[in-house]
Amino acid sequence: MSDNNVLVEIQDLRIEFDVRAGIVKAVDGVSFDIKRGQTLGVIGESGCGKSITARAILQMVPKPGKITGGQVLYHRQARGATQTDVINISKLDPDGQLIREIRGGEIGMIFQEPMSSLTPVYTAGTHIDEAVSLHRLTPLRKVGDQLAETIQAHQKLSKQEARQIAIEMLRRVGIPKPEQRVDSYPHQLSGGQRQRVMIAIALSCQPAMLIADEPTTALDVSIEAQILDIMRELQESVNMAIMFITHNLGVIAEMASEIVVMYMGKQVERAATVDLFYEPKHPYTRALLQSIPKVGRKTGVRLASIEGMVPDPFHLPTGCVFHPRCPSFMPGKCDKIAPTWKQLIGNHWVSCLLYQEV
């Protein structure tokens, strides 16, 4: 049963960028699973390969980048069917028919910048119609009405129907007066409303999975809370998986059931959210958690930060990439031997020499 529950499997994924100054290993041996209906959080500093990993799931790695190893397996389940076929996304033609069906239709994505994610010349309704017409799926109107769903699945929609769907989707993401807002251009909407429209677009085709790449970073906290609520509600109603990328630890604690921590293209720790927050194993995770400001902490005490700088990607440190900044640095070991991915207890994985016999 557990195997049937896996939606996307990333196995030892490696992505390299061949730029003039050398080769950057943006993603270096990352593996994790995303399960149906659950939220996986990915955290890490800027530039640690979170977004690139997400893009690899849609076979959309930006230009000089190349997948040089590993694979992304997508367990595709036809609507209403119980059988799954495994598609190796990393082997698909990035402009091919199949990947375009998966993009948007089965795996949706929303981005960090709601301000610039909508094409300025089209209204909110046009955007939703476009996504719907690209995949020719009628979004769920009555949850559970699976039969009617499959009948509608391959119908071409009329203009009136598409508009109706757009209004319906806008209402579901909590946009006030959707009948009017459907004709608004992006510049007439606020940041929060734009991000809601983005979510509406992504959800209009009922994807099995939503990749949210820092969806609330550009929004203020009250809007952020509303957006997160909407995402959670919708996830429950359609049993959708979410890959939630952020560097906001507070947000991820609220959203995710499992968390992957990344540093310099490598995953350093993976655990259930509760375990990770209460018993962080990797020194990097610990340092990250200590750097969260807390209400009620003594004033006058400086906020903890991680020592040192993120290393130059062209000259990565030998051994463990985190060793120059690590408070638990073991000379002679950490700078010589690269740690391996090791299971500790239950579903808690870590990549650190502290937990290895060397």
Residue position matching structure tokens 């690899």: 56
Closest separation in Å from C-beta 131 to other proteins: 5
Whole-number Å distance between alpha carbons of 123 and 153: 25
Q: Are 48 and 95 in contact (CB under 8 A)?
A: no
Question: Of 45, 76, 60, nearest to 15 (Cα)?
Answer: 60
Full DSSP string of 50-119: HHHHHHHHTT---TTEEEEEEEEEEEEE-TT---EEEEEGGGS-TTSHHHHHHHHHTEEEE-S-TTTSS-
Residues 216-275 that bind other proteins (CB under 8 A): 222
Q: Using CB under 8 A, which of 14, 66, 100, 333 touches other proteins?
A: 100
Tokens (6 digits) for 135: 């995949």
Residue 245 β-bridge partners: 42, 213
Q: Are 327 and 304 in contact (CB under 8 A)?
A: no
Cβ atoms within 10 Å, residue 169:
26
Interface with other proteins, residue 24, by CB under 8 A: no
Interface with other proteins, residue 121, by CB under 8 A: yes
Residues 319-358 that bind other proteins (CB under 8 A): none
Interaction mask 190-219, other proteins, x per CB under 8 A: --------x--xx--x-----x--------
Interface with other proteins, residue 131, by CB under 8 A: yes
Nearer to other proteins, 119 or 356 (CB): 119
Closest separation in Å from C-beta 194 to other proteins: 11
Interaction mask 48-87, other proteins, x per CB under 8 A: ----------x-x---------------------------
Interface with other proteins, residue 46, by CB under 8 A: no
Closest separation in Å from C-beta 109 to other proteins: 4
Closest separation in Å from C-beta 325 to other proteins: 32
